[in-house]
Amino acid sequence: MRSSVGLVVPILVSFVLVASTSANFFQDVQITWGDGRGKILNNGQLLTLTLDKFSGSGFQSKNEYLFGKIDMQIKLVPGNSAGTVTTYYLRSQGSTWDEIDFEFLGNLSGDPYIVHTNVFSQGKGDREQQFYLWFDPTKDFHTYSVLWNPQRIIFSVDGTPIREFKNLESFGVPFPKNQPMKIYSSLWNADDWATRGGLVKTDWSKAPFTASYMNFKADACVWSSGRSSCSSTSSSKNAWLSQELDATSQQRLKWVQKNYMIYNYCTDTKRFPQGLPKECSVH
Ligand SMILES: *[C@@H]1O[C@H](CO)[C@@H](O)[C@H](O)[C@H]1NC(C)=O
Asked whether residue 5 carries a pLDDT value surpassing 80, the answer given is no
How many A from CA of 201 to the centre of ligand 1? 12
Nearest CA to ligand 1 atom 9: 196
- Short-list 124, 135, 138, 126, CA closest to 80: 138
CB burial string 117-134: b at 16+ within 10 A, e below:
bbbbbeeeeebbbbbebe
What's the rounded Cα separation, in Å, for the pair 144 and 106?
A: 16
For 202-216, the pLDDT digits (tens) are 999 999 999 999 999
pLDDT mean over 260-282? 96
What's the rounded Cα separation, in Å, for the pair 260 and 130?
A: 8
How many A from CA of 172 to the centre of ligand 1? 36
Asked whether residue 141 carries a pLDDT value surpassing 60, the answer given is yes
How many A from CA of 214 to the centre of ligand 1? 26
For 186-203, the pLDDT digits (tens) are 999 999 999 999 999 999
- Short-list 209, 177, 166, 191, CA closest to 78: 209
For 225-247, the pLDDT digits (tens) are 999 998 766 666 789 999 999 99
Domain 18-281: give its CATH code: 2.60.120.200
Domain boundary assignment for the chain? 18-281
Angstrom distances, CA of residue 267 to CA of 26, 47, 271, 276, 278: 43, 38, 9, 8, 12
Q: Which amino acid is at 259?
A: N
For 30-75, the pLDDT digits (tens) are 999 999 999 999 999 999 999 999 999 999 999 999 999 999 999 9
pLDDT of residue 235: 63
pTM tops 0.75:
yes
- Short-list 29, 43, 111, 26, CA closest to 77: 111
Question: Is there an atom of ligand 1 within 6 Å of 81 CB?
Answer: no
For 79-100, the pLDDT digits (tens) are 999 999 999 999 999 999 999 9
Question: Is there an atom of ligand 1 within 6 Å of 125 CB?
Answer: no
The verdict on whether 103 is a catalytic residue reads yes
Asked whether residue 257 carries a pLDDT value surpassing 90, the answer given is yes
Question: Is there an atom of ligand 1 within 6 Å of 211 CB?
Answer: no
pLDDT mean over 105-117? 98
Nearest CA to ligand 1 atom 10: 112
SS3 84: strand
How many A from CA of 190 to the centre of ligand 1? 14
